[in-house]
Amino acid sequence: MSRAPSRSARPHAQRKAPRSRAETVRPGLYDEVTQRIVGELEAGRVPWVQPWGTSGCGNAGLPRNAVSRRPYSGINVLILWSAVIDRAYPSQDWLTFNQAQKLGGTVRKGERGVTVVYADRFTPEDETARTKGEHEPRSIPFLKRFTVFNVAQCDGLSAFVADPAPLAECETLPLAEAVIRASGVEYRIGGNEAFYAPIFDFVQVPPPPAFFAPVDYYRTALHELTHATGHASRVGRDLTHCFGSDGYAREELVAELGSAFLCAVLGIAPSLRHADYLAHWLAVLKADNRAIFRAASAASKAADWLVARSAATADEAAA
């Protein structure tokens, strides 16, 4: 909880955005993804906290490209998590049809891929000519969509089919503690409420014994630290929204997703911290088909910032 004082732009008509094998996003993608997430929420399933480790599903790590090992981010995390859970894939590794072939494997006939998106920017020729080098030409953001397959949908890639066993809780919780310490955020333990105070820039969390399980303490701490990344000295977001407003609900959604992404990086199964916001999130998503895209993007930036701080601190300690 944060205490506040507490179109897809189309490329220029005279020149289309560059295409590789990936297609430029179709107009309905925002609606398609948003409607899918709204449907899950209305059915009582929260896409980023559905039970992991059941029915052969992979562990709660971030989905990643099987070739580069680079994790996916933003809305792609939710899209691919949903597919892993719905189809009970044992792995979070994904790759394109061509990448599977380059690794000596092949996508099995009849397998359905999953559409993910890639954000890019395009500078029209007439914009470059208009500025005449006097200032930076205005670029137009756009999305491209392409299809990926889980390694479990492929033959000849047995080395990738199942994720390694998740770490035990006694190994993951010290990692979460390291993220808290490395954040540089003033962190107070006490009271009976968890919150981030934007004006005074501190996080407060009840003591660990106040939680049903130790892992819940860390899930809550990561939620509040995600709020804290919104401070202007960190990632920076608008934290001035009044309680109960759409802006407040959007920021809570960012914190929920950020906590889930951080938990995934650390090997902790995510959980829903604020179920009372579900109705408001539904209203926001139904009114704005890009809200979940923005929230997921902001959550990834927040999680990346905290993870990078922790990694840098660990490197300094090891030097």
Domain boundaries, the chain: 23-160, 169-318
| Contact indicator for 283, 272 with CB cutoff of 8 Å | no
User: Residue 20 has what pLDDT?
Assistant: 38
Rounded (to 5) percent helix, strand, coil in the chain: 45, 15, 40
Per residue in 279-303, pLDDT (tens digit) is: 999 999 999 999 999 999 999 999 9
More confident residue, 25 or 89: 89
CA distance 34 to 67: 29
User: Residue 23 has what pLDDT?
Assistant: 43
| Mean pLDDT, residues 259-287 taken together | 88
3-state secondary structure of 59: coil
- Assess whether pLDDT exceeds 80 at residue 34: yes
User: Residue 7 has what pLDDT?
Assistant: 36
What pairing do the DSSP bridges indicate for beta strands 64-65 and 93-95? parallel
Confidence category of residue 144, pLDDT binned at 50, 70, 90: confident
DSSP state of 192: S
User: Residue 292 has what pLDDT?
Assistant: 96
| Mean pLDDT, residues 175-180 taken together | 96
CA distance 177 to 192: 20
Lowest mean pLDDT among 60-64, 134-138, 224-228: 134-138
CB environment 147-179: b (16+ within 10 A), e (fewer): bbbbbbbbeebeebebbeebeeeeebbebbebb
The residues, ordered by sequence, that sit 6+ positions from 107 with a Cβ below 8 Å of its Cβ are: 97, 100, 113, 149, 153, 154
What's the pTM?
A: 0.84
Q: H helices within the chain, ranges in order?
A: 29-42, 75-87, 97-102, 125-131, 169-182, 214-228, 246-266, 278-287, 291-318
User: Residue 145 has what pLDDT?
Assistant: 86
3-state secondary structure of 258: helix
CA distance 96 to 147: 6
**Residues above pLDDT 70, as percent of the chain:** 85
User: Residue 135 has what pLDDT?
Assistant: 67
Confidence category of residue 272, pLDDT binned at 50, 70, 90: confident
- Assess whether pLDDT exceeds 90 at residue 15: no
Q: What angle do CA 41, 42, 48 make, to 5 degrees?
A: 10
C-beta atoms surrounding 197 within 10 Å: 20
More confident residue, 135 or 39: 39
Per residue in 97-138, pLDDT (tens digit) is: 999 999 999 999 999 999 999 877 777 767 666 666 666 767
User: Residue 85 has what pLDDT?
Assistant: 86
- Assess whether pLDDT exceeds 70 at residue 220: yes
